[in-house]
Amino acid sequence: MRLPQSITRPLSVFFIHIPIISVLLVFALAPAHAATGAAQLTASPSLLRFGSIDVGQTENLLVTVTNGGLTSVTLSEVSVTEAAFATPNLALPLVVPAGQSVDVNISFTPTTTGWTGGIIKFSGSGPNSTVSVQTGGSGVDSQAVTASPSTLSFGQVPVGGNSSLPLVLTNARHWAVTITAIQIFGSEFSISGATFPLKLSGQQSVALTVNYTPLSAGLNGGSVFVSGPAVTIPITGTGTTSAVGQLSISPASLSYSSVPVGTTDTLPITVSATGGSVTIASDSTNNSQFVLTGASFPLTIPSGSSMSFNVAFTPQNSGTISGSLSFTSTASNSPNESLTGIGAATAYTVNLSWNQSSSAVGYNIYRSTSSTGSYTKINPALDSNTAYADGTVAANTTYYYAATSVNSSGMESSPSAPVQVQVP
């Protein structure tokens, strides 16, 4: 460092002062040097682990960029080393005041199978105003373990309060898969419900509970990482110091009577907000045979008010069918609506008729499910009519019918040309 001329001239004459001035300069410059080298921007977390994601699908994780300096920083550029990673919805330039933070979504969309790693670098104005986040994830053709829901959103929760959401992990394979451990990222989040390592048989599930306890106001992001199959479930929640409403659903459960397969029946529900207004962002059901109708999201229910909707049930198969309905909202709770219905197989009847034979005293009707297969007589007794109703058919089946005539001597004619009938 070059010293100012006003100082160097006296030093060239009074040599005895040089050590004293040198010592003072060392102590005076040290703090200034340390401040210059301190990072003004930090990122939390500095490492994002996406896990395994189906090729072509997108997953988002939250990163908080904090300005820990004494002056504001203008983020002007984001560079990404791998195109599979991006920062959607981040508008630049963005001013981050001193001591403030900004939450940034990082997305991962694998285009090929296998591991992809990258670095996302945020650059701003001023010295030491860059920060990097390491990212990594794998593209797969299909995930061994699926999560329901695939993302968790707690909405608004009072600071110091607690909210819980269910999480179900299901082995999508027909063979056993071992979950070695569960890691949760984000100090405000915790998980309970099972002990690991845990082996899941084919199609077997395990139910977990994720808890959110905000420590301060503002948006919090985190994730659940399932070691073994390498699945990531993003989590978000917002701590608030203002009054947060609660949702209630009436009735608490819906039960549908017998509904013919392929037809639709609806039942009403009422959703109410208490203790504060609630904004509902979306709904979800864990069974596509149940669908909420009459709602357009997002919508806000004022405190003390209610809204009515319908839940439609369209069974795709016969038997008892169950499901549940939930909402993603700003409410401090997450009520679930229990849904149950019975799918009834549709009864079909095939009506047959033919021309009368002058010598016949009766007729027999034969049926087959193959045009070249053997035929079986379906009328229990000789039919004297020229028509027959077959009420023993099944849906989604093709049948072939033939008729014979029988004379007074009991002689039976050869079968008629077969008639093909497709039952829907």
Alpha-helical (H) ranges within 38-72 are none
Percent of the chain at pLDDT exceeding 90: 71
pLDDT digits 0-9 by tens, 370-406: 988 899 999 999 999 999 999 999 888 999 999 999 9
Q: Is the pLDDT of residue 6 over 80?
A: no
- Write down the pLDDT at residue 77: 94
Q: Is the pLDDT of residue 109 over 50?
A: yes
Least confident range of 177-181, 302-306, 338-342: 302-306
pLDDT digits 0-9 by tens, 285-337: 999 999 999 998 888 898 899 999 999 999 998 899 999 999 988 888 889 99
Neighbours of 116 (CB within 10 A): 21
DSSP 3-state helix, strand, coil percentages of the chain (rounded to 5)? 10, 55, 40
3-class SS of residue 382: coil
3-class SS of residue 136: strand
Least confident range of 5-9, 198-202, 382-386, 399-403: 5-9
pLDDT digits 0-9 by tens, 224-238: 999 999 999 999 998
Tell me the CB-side half-sphere exposure of residue 328, using CA atoms within 13 A: 16
DSSP 98: T
DSSP 348: -
- Write down the pLDDT at residue 347: 82
- How sure is the predictor about 38, in pLDDT bands with cuts at 50, 70 and 90? low
pTM of the model: 0.53
Least confident range of 29-38, 174-183, 289-298: 29-38
Q: Is the pLDDT of residue 80 over 60?
A: yes
Q: Please name which of 39, 84, 88, 89 lies closest in space to residue 65, comparing C-alpha atoms.
A: 39
- Specify the domain boundaries for CATH 2.60.40.10 within the chain: 41-240, 246-344, 350-423
Q: Is the pLDDT of residue 86 over 80?
A: yes
Specify the pairing of strand 218-227 against strand 205-212: unpaired
One-character DSSP codes across 294-336:
S--SSEEE-TT-EEEEEEEE--SSSEEEEEEEEEEESSS---E
pLDDT digits 0-9 by tens, 134-156: 999 999 999 999 999 999 988 88
Percent of the chain at pLDDT exceeding 70: 91
Per-residue tokens: 253: 């459960």
- How sure is the predictor about 37, in pLDDT bands with cuts at 50, 70 and 90? low
Kindly indicate whether the domain formed by 350-423 is annotated with CATH number 3.40.50.2300. Answer: no
- Write down the pLDDT at residue 330: 82
- Write down the pLDDT at residue 78: 95
Residue 342 and residue 208: Cα distance in Å, rounded?
28
The overall average pLDDT reported for the chain is 87
Q: Which residue has the tokens 């001013």?
A: 95
One-character DSSP codes across 54-116:
ETT--EEEEEEEEE-SSS-EEEEEEEESSTTEE-TT--SSEEE-TT-EEEEEEEE--SSSEEE
**Residue 170 and residue 226 in contact, taking contact as beta carbons nearer than 8 Å:** no
3-class SS of residue 286: coil
DSSP 289: T
Q: Which residue has the tokens 């063979």?
A: 175
Interior angle at CA 211, CA 155 and CA 138, nearest 5: 85
Residues 6+ apart with CB under 8 A from 13: none
Structural element, H or E, at residue 58: none
pLDDT digits 0-9 by tens, 258-273: 999 889 999 999 999 9
Q: Is the pLDDT of residue 11 over 50?
A: no
Kindly indicate whether the domain formed by 246-344 is annotated with CATH number 2.60.40.10. Answer: yes
Residue 324 and residue 340: Cα distance in Å, rounded?
8
Q: Please name which of 140, 131, 143, 147 lies closest in space to residue 47, comparing C-alpha atoms.
A: 131
Q: Is the pLDDT of residue 24 over 50?
A: no
The CATH superfamily assigned to 41-240 is: Immunoglobulins (2.60.40.10)
Q: Please name which of 395, 292, 306, 418 lies closest in space to residue 343, comparing C-alpha atoms.
A: 395
Backbone angles phi, psi at 44, to 5 degrees: -135, 120
More confident: 190 or 218: 190
